[in-house]
Structure 1
Amino acid sequence: MSAADEILDIVDENDQVIGQAPRGEVYARGMRHRAVFVLVRDGEGRIFVHRRTATKLVFPSLYDMFVGGVVGAGESYDGAALREAEEELGVSGLPRPVPLFKFLYDDGGGRSWWSAVYEVRCEVAVDPQVEEVAWYGFLSEEELSRRLGEWAWVPDGVAAWERLRAR
């Protein structure tokens, strides 16, 4: 099964499930769905930053300060956060990511998803999926702030980062 065939829950403005559809259709029709964002810190408190591969369906080749992805049909935000973090980092046995907040991302151009933001500490060596991650590094918050003005970032990640910084 390809990523485009994965079934997602469609949700309303109150994050209530109103249907289901394949990911490819969800993206093509701009249907509201669910996603998780996990801020990963290493043992020194640095943040995992990566550049997405050129083959990603959404935001190819852009940088992101979160790992994560869509929540599958019937999956909980908490379950998706742990699954996505372990998959993207190429690790197992991570502690359960800590939920921080939820917000409705809407780019005003047909892309909208409920976004649950988490944080987790990863103190083991990472081995990111080559299908998902073209480059990665652990950056201090100062270095990340400097790179925000230099690199092309995923807009939903920037929206989540700005909300996190404002807390």
Structure 2
Amino acid sequence: MSSADEILDVVDASDRVVGRARRGDVYARGLCHRAVFVLARDADGRIFVHRRTAGKLVFPSLYDMFVGGVVGAGESYDDAALREAEEELGVRGLPRPVPLFRFLYEDGTGSWWSAVYEVRCELPVRPQAEEVAWHAFLTEAEVERRLGEWEWVPDGLAAYARLRAGRPGARRPGPGRPERDGDHGAP
């Protein structure tokens, strides 16, 4: 089965399942669905950064500081986060990624509920060649320097901005209140 034929849950603005559709149809029709973003850090705390392959359905050849992807029909966010992290990093036996927050990403052509996680990957990585064209572990300072130099996936930038805003001293959304795009709790 091709990735365009994968079945996804279609969800509403409150992240409730309202149907199912093929991934290709979800993208073509701009249907709201679910995705996971996993910030992978090595033993030194550096962030796994990669450039997506040119053949990706969404955001081909752009840089990303998260691994992840869509949540399959009937799959939990937590299970999808672990599956996607292991697949894209090319490792088995990762600890379960730690959930950080969720937000509704909207870009004018589609929307997806985005669950953001973090995981420590102390194993050697062997990223999938069909997913990852280039990769490296970069310090946060190196990532910050490249934000204005490289072309990044927009949903990853939105998630990263929310993650940075959640550092000590920044306001965070109240408990149980998922964020909507544009509402990232920054001071």
Instruction: Work out whether the TM-score is over 0.5.
Output: yes
Opposite residue 30 of structure 1, the aligned amino acid is G
Aligned to 1:127: 126
- Partner residue of 1:146? 145
Q: Distance in 2 between matches of 1:132 and 1:124?
A: 19
- Other-structure match for 2:88: 88
Question: How do 1:108-123 residues align onto structure 2 when only pairs under 5 Å count?
Answer: 109-123=108-122
* 2:49 alignment counterpart: 49
Ranges of 4+ aligned residues in structure 1 off by more than 6 Å: none
The percentage of aligned residue pairs carrying the same residue is 78
SS in 1 for 2:93: coil
**1:111 Cα deviation from its structure 2 partner:** 1.7
* DSSP 3-state at the match of 2:36: strand
Equivalent-residue separation in structure 2 for 1:42 and 1:51 (angstroms): 18
1:95-110 → structure 2 map (5 Å cutoff)? 95-107=95-107, 109-110=108-109
Deviation at 1:25, TM superposition (A): 0.2
List runs of 5+ in structure 1 lacking aligned partners: none
Q: How does 1:51-90 map to 2 (within 5 A)?
A: 51-90=51-90
For the pair shown, the structure with the greater C-alpha radius of gyration is: 2
Which TM-score applies when normalising by structure 2? Answer: 0.88
Partner of 1:35: 35
2:4 maps to 4
Compare relative contact order (CA 8 Å, sep 6+) and give the higher one, 1 or 2: 1
